[in-house]
């Protein structure tokens, strides 16, 4: 316990050093790639439509499959980017952050698409990013007036407010890095065993992604196209 607390204190002020490229612009690029597709990952809408077809048009079952599929992908990349332990930390943390951002954006965007939201709409894109913060964080930021409203309200606002684009992007970037490089890495370091670090990373990233998926399912309500 003492080691974990020590690592957390030492790591907190160095998060931006560990992942210096993770900024609001990075998050926007992750969102674009998640929606448009990157590498072996199909575009978010295409993947969601495939699930809708497999589930014979049942939107709720398709959303369940979108969540489950992306939870598995997040777990796999969580294992791969944490299996090296301390030795590969400098390389693994930025890779883990990038992978998690793209996967979670892809999942939430897929859910939004299945619920009838237009992924080309900047209001919907802001809502996707806001959802990545999780229900508790969104609630706190709304109370502090750092976010104008909930993701659903952002997605359905009468007009797009470009002044919140940077705020949402920067907040999401900071939140993802803090979660990956702070809480979960401290646990991995405390274990001191590389393979255990991979297992812990897999479980943490998978669970984190599942929680965000469930929040997106509750928050992003159906909308007529």
CA distance 156 to 120: 13
CA distance 118 to 86: 42
pLDDT given at position 24:
73
2 three-state secondary structure: helix
**Six-digit token string for 163:** 């002044």
Task: Pick out the chain residues at pLDDT < 50.
Answer: 1-20, 79-81, 83-92, 183, 188, 190-191, 193, 195-199
pLDDT given at position 126:
96
**Six-digit token string for 169:** 């992007």
pTM of the predicted model over 0.85? no
Q: How far is CA 139 from CA 53, 77, 143, 151, 212, in A?
A: 35, 29, 6, 10, 14
pLDDT given at position 178:
75
pLDDT given at position 212:
94
pLDDT given at position 15:
44
pLDDT given at position 54:
96
pLDDT given at position 111:
98
Given CA atoms 144, 146, 149, 150 in this order, what sign does their dihedral have? negative
Q: What is the pLDDT of residues 137-160, one digit of tens each?
A: 999 999 998 899 999 999 999 999
CA distance 170 to 177: 11
pLDDT given at position 80:
45
pLDDT given at position 35:
94
Closest CA to 115 of 85, 107, 166: 107
């Amino acid at each position: 316990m003492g080691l974990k607390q020590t690592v957390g204190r030492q790591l907190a002020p160095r998060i931006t050093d560990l992942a210096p490229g993770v900024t609001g612009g990075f998050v926007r690029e992750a969102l674009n790639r998640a929606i448009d597709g990157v590498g072996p990952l199909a575009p978010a809408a295409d993947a969601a439509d495939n699930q809708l077809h497999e589930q014979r048009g049942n939107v709720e079952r398709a959303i369940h499959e979108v969540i489950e599929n992306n939870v598995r992908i997040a777990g796999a990349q969580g294992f791969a980017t944490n299996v090296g332990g301390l030795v590969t930390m400098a390389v693994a943390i930025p890779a883990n952050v990038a992978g998690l951002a793209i996967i979670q954006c892809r999942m939430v965007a897929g859910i939004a698409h299945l619920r009838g939201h237009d992924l080309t709409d900047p209001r919907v894109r802001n809502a996707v990013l806001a959802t990545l913060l999780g229900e508790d964080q969104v609630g706190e930021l709304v109370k502090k007036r750092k976010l104008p409203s909930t993701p659903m309200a952002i997605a359905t606002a009468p007009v797009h407010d470009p002044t919140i684009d940077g705020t949402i992007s920067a907040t999401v970037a900071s939140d993802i890095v803090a979660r990956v490089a702070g809480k979960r890495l401290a646990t991995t370091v405390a274990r001191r065993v590389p393979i255990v670090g991979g297992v812990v990373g897999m479980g943490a990233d998978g669970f984190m992604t599942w929680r965000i998926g469930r929040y997106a399912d509750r928050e992003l309500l159906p909308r007529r196209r």
